[in-house]
């Protein structure tokens, strides 16, 4: 029976993740998904130029952008070629990557700890709300987590068996993880620990390890060099190298209580572990390690704390940045349940307590997940409603100015190209410049114009331009008269 448990867990994970699998790109972190989906759609519509990914907020330019390795978007575009354009294929791809992650997490924990811990670890990986949610979103995080787990697993296998296949598979997956997210270089610390256990003082003279590092770092360096050349030539970027001002290098933020409160308690304890799981995780940290190999997961946790510090603002702002933490963290929950849980819950006080905790995790997790999913209801999305009207009321090739505060969701849903805008930007000079570049419409929501000065701007727009649509919630204004 135990041989089939992992497949039952994979089935459970699959069922949890395909709920509303056909949702449009709206809701939580829709901006990240919209950019990823836009790159896929632009590959499909404009030719499969892999090395030149394009976004929608490009104005009248080609839209080539400096970004992480776009393999996820490219694979989805190839699926579009076969099945037609639908966000469901991007979501399904994420689900598949998540299931692969679970299976290899099971194999890794089975190898380094024991079978029951491996099964419990996969169970918790399957059920925590953000794990479910981001395992079915249209973004490469699921591919990233998969690459990390497979990379570590095959590295461990190579050290034990000396098989070249495992060596090259590990280098490929670790390189892919770093290509998808450059800060994933932190995974080098857990790998170094495993290598140290194998080679000890001779670690620095192992030519195979130097070759491994070369195989990982070369494609990473080549891609990010190429991506930066795109930025220099076309001026568009996702802010990969904005040290100290965007995702990473914000040292002042690290030395504040609000940073650690957000990461440890609001994000990890509350959102990921729904509090009860966080307490069990802390208890798991206190369990004595039986082998040195088992300490890999401690080193993995330490490397992730270093990652939190280096990519401070990214982790502070974005919940999904902590997803990699759940790989080693679920192992510590698995240890607690492996040691203390028994099916005879009424004969064992520890089992009874853990059963109550497990029910609490499931109930609180379901409540939190329902909050996430409510945001994907099209009835509650003004952006979705406006986008549908934009497609009806404007020409397919029209360039638009989207009052979206740099959120690409509205442009993506509208299937339009154009410019982002903040409500306070819409003065005569800004609009004149964009009209010269071909902008034909302004689209947005009234709620974006909050202050008195912004209300005056909105009033001026309505007086000076033709109102194509206005329902007092959303509007479409035409900037250029028909010839």
Report the C-alpha gap between 110 and 117 in whole angstroms.
7
Coil, helix or strand at residue 275:
coil
Which of 323, 344, 374 is where one domain is finished? 374
Asked whether residue 412 falls in the same domain as residue 297, the answer is no
Range of the domain at 290: 2-22+86-374
Q: Give the CA angle between residues 260, 266, 270 to the nearest 5°.
A: 135
Check: CB of residue 477 under 8 Å from CB of residue 442: yes
- Residue 326: which of 142, 131, 118 has the closest Cα? 131
Q: How many whole angstroms from its chain centre is CA 313?
A: 15
Strands (E), 172-312: none
Report the C-alpha gap between 339 and 115 in whole angstroms.
12
Please report how many Cα atoms fall inside a 13 Å half-sphere around the Cα of residue 143, on the Cβ side. 26
Coil, helix or strand at residue 448:
helix
Asked whether residue 393 falls in the same domain as residue 302, the answer is no
Asked whether residue 366 falls in the same domain as residue 453, the answer is no
Asked whether residue 309 falls in the same domain as residue 203, the answer is yes
Asked whether residue 155 falls in the same domain as residue 278, the answer is yes
pLDDT at site 244: 63
Element (H, E) at 401: strand 399-403
Report the C-alpha gap between 438 and 367 in whole angstroms.
47
For residue 53, being part of any structural domain is answered with: no
pLDDT at site 481: 62
Coil, helix or strand at residue 229:
helix
For residue 64, being part of any structural domain is answered with: no
Asked whether residue 367 falls in the same domain as residue 428, the answer is no
Task: Report H helices in 18-112.
Answer: 30-46, 71-83, 87-112
- Residue 385: which of 440, 426, 439, 444 has the closest Cα? 444
pLDDT at site 380: 87
Q: Packing angle between helix 326-340 and helix 296-310, nearest 10 degrees?
A: 140
Asked whether residue 229 falls in the same domain as residue 122, the answer is yes
List CB contacts of 240: < 8 A, sequence separation 6 or more. 66, 67, 68, 182, 224, 227, 228
Calculate the alpha carbon distances from 144 to 43, 52, 302, 366, 473 in Å: 21, 21, 19, 25, 38
Joined together, the tokens standing for residue 53 give: 């990914």
pLDDT at site 243: 72
Asked whether residue 204 falls in the same domain as residue 188, the answer is yes
Please report how many Cα atoms fall inside a 13 Å half-sphere around the Cα of residue 186, on the Cβ side. 18
Joined together, the tokens standing for residue 101 give: 């992650």
Asked whether residue 390 falls in the same domain as residue 362, the answer is no
Question: In total, how many domains does the chain have?
Answer: 2
Strands (E), 195-343: none
Check: CB of residue 292 under 8 Å from CB of residue 197: yes
For residue 113, being part of any structural domain is answered with: yes
For residue 459, being part of any structural domain is answered with: yes
Asked whether residue 115 falls in the same domain as residue 261, the answer is yes
For residue 213, being part of any structural domain is answered with: yes
For residue 52, being part of any structural domain is answered with: no
Which of 348, 374, 400 is where one domain is finished? 374
Check: CB of residue 51 under 8 Å from CB of residue 67: no
Report the C-alpha gap between 159 and 296 in whole angstroms.
14
Report the C-alpha gap between 155 and 101 in whole angstroms.
15
For residue 61, being part of any structural domain is answered with: no
pTM equals 0.95
pLDDT at site 248: 75
Asked whether residue 264 falls in the same domain as residue 405, the answer is no
pLDDT tens-digit profile, the chain (483 residues): 456 899 999 999 999 999 999 999 999 989 999 999 999 999 999 999 999 999 999 999 999 999 999 999 999 999 999 999 999 999 999 999 999 999 999 999 999 999 999 999 999 999 999 999 999 999 999 999 999 999 999 999 999 999 999 999 999 999 999 999 999 999 999 999 999 999 999 999 999 999 999 999 999 999 999 999 999 999 999 988 877 666 777 889 999 999 999 999 999 999 999 999 999 999 999 999 999 999 999 999 999 999 999 999 999 999 999 999 999 999 999 999 999 988 877 778 888 999 999 999 999 999 999 999 999 999 889 999 999 999 999 988 999 999 998 999 999 999 999 999 999 999 999 999 999 999 999 999 999 998 889 999 999 999 999 999 999 999 999 997 654
Q: Which residues pair with 399 in a beta bridge?
A: 417, 439
Element (H, E) at 474: strand 474-478
Q: How many whole angstroms from its chain centre is CA 219?
A: 22
Asked whether residue 464 falls in the same domain as residue 326, the answer is no
Per-residue DSSP letter, 403: E
Joined together, the tokens standing for residue 254 give: 């690290």
For residue 28, being part of any structural domain is answered with: no
Which of 358, 374, 390 is where one domain is finished? 374
- Residue 414: which of 381, 392, 445 has the closest Cα? 392
């Amino acid at each position: 029976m135990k041989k089939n448990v992992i497949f039952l867990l994979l089935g459970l994970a699959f069922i949890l993740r395909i709920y509303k699998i056909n949702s449009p790109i709206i809701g939580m972190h829709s901006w990240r998904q919209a950019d990823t989906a836009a790159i896929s759609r632009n590959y499909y519509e404009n030719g499969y130029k892999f090395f030149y990914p394009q976004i929608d907020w490009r104005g009248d330019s080609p839209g080539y952008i400096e970004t992480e390795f776009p393999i996820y978007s490219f694979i989805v575009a190839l699926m579009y070629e076969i099945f037609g354009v639908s966000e469901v294929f991007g979501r399904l791809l994420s689900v598949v990557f998540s299931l692969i992650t679970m299976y290899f997490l099971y194999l890794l924990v089975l190898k380094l700890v024991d079978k029951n811990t491996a099964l419990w670890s996969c169970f918790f990986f399957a059920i925590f709300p953000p794990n479910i949610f981001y395992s079915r979103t249209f973004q490469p995080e699921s591919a990233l987590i998969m690459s990390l787990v497979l990379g570590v697993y095959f590295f461990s296998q190579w050290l034990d068996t000396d098989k070249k296949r495992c060596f090259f598979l590990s280098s490929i997956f670790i390189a892919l993880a770093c290509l998808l997210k450059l800060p994933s270089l932190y995974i080098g610390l857990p790998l170094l620990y495993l290598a140290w256990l194998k080679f000890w003082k001779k670690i620095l003279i192992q030519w195979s390890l130097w070759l491994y590092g070369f195989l990982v770092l070369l494609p990473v360096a080549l891609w990010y060099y190429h991506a930066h050349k795109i930025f220099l030539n076309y001026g568009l970027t996702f802010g990969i190298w904005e040290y100290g001002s965007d995702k990473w290098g914000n040292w002042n933020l690290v030395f504040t209580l609000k940073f650690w409160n957000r990461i440890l308690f609001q994000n990890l304890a509350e959102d990921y572990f729904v509090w009860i799981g966080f307490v069990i995780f802390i208890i798991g940290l206190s369990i004595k390690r039986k082998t040195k190999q088992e300490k890999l997961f401690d080193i993995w946790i330490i490397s992730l704390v270093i990652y939190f510090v280096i990519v401070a603002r990214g982790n502070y702002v974005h919940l999904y940045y902590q997803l990699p933490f759940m790989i080693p963290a679920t192992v510590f929950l698995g240890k607690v349940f492996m040691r203390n849980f028994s099916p005879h819950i009424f004969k064992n006080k520890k089992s009874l307590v853990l059963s109550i905790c497990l029910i609490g995790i499931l109930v609180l997790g379901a409540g939190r997940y329902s909050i996430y999913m409510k945001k994907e209801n099209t009835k509650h999305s003004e952006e979705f409603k406006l986008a549908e009207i934009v497609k009806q009321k404007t020409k397919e090739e029209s360039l638009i100015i989207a009052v979206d505060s740099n959120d690409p969701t509205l442009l993506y849903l509208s299937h339009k190209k154009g410019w982002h805008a903040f409500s306070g930007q819409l003065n005569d000079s800004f609009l004149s410049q964009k009209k010269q570049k071909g902008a034909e419409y302004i689209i947005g929501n009234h709620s974006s114009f909050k202050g008195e000065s912004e209300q005056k701007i909105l009033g001026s727009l309505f007086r000076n331009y033709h109102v194509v649509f206005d329902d007092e919630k959303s509007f479409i204004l035409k900037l250029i008269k028909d010839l």
